[in-house]
Amino acid sequence: MKSMFILLVTLMIWDQQLALDNITKAISTGNVTALEPYLDKSVEIAILEQENVYGKTEAIQILKNFFGKNKPQTFSQMHTGQSKGKEAQYSIGNLTTTAGTFRVYIYARVEADKYYVQELRFDKE
């Protein structure tokens, strides 16, 4: 019984890390199609000094436009964490693009083991 519990906890942690890895991989390649399933119904997007909350469809267009102008080359994850109640995860990393390096902040809520990105920030380094 104890080993079954440990296995379940390990699988849950692995699934959560896999989802976060999929999100950062999509950002590192500029693949908005791969990022789309993780976007919440509304997403706060901040690119440099422009910040707003967008519906999912508009957020997709904003991200496609950003990656069209800033073609990703590499992404290095610097820090990850979760809220005390484990209802949210975040990741901070550096995205190197053809137009320079951006500090990226990703905030996602977790509901029933599914990730919903609620905030993406791209600040120039």
Contacts of 95 (CB under 8 A, 6+ apart): 27, 28, 70, 72, 74, 75, 101, 102, 103, 104, 122
> How confident is the model at residue 114, as a pLDDT?
87
> How confident is the model at residue 6, as a pLDDT?
43
- Model confidence at 9: pLDDT above 80: no
Confidence class for position 1, pLDDT limits 50, 70, 90: low
What would the mean pLDDT of 62-74 be, rounded to a whole number? 97
Tell me: the pLDDT tens digits for 80-118? 988 888 789 999 999 999 999 999 999 999 888 788 999
Over the range 65-74, which residues count as b (16 or more CB within 10 Å of their CB) and which as e?
Answer: ebbeebebee
- Model confidence at 8: pLDDT above 80: no
- Model confidence at 17: pLDDT above 60: no
Tell me: the pLDDT tens digits for 18-63? 678 899 999 999 999 999 999 999 999 999 989 999 999 999 999 9
> How confident is the model at residue 18, as a pLDDT?
61
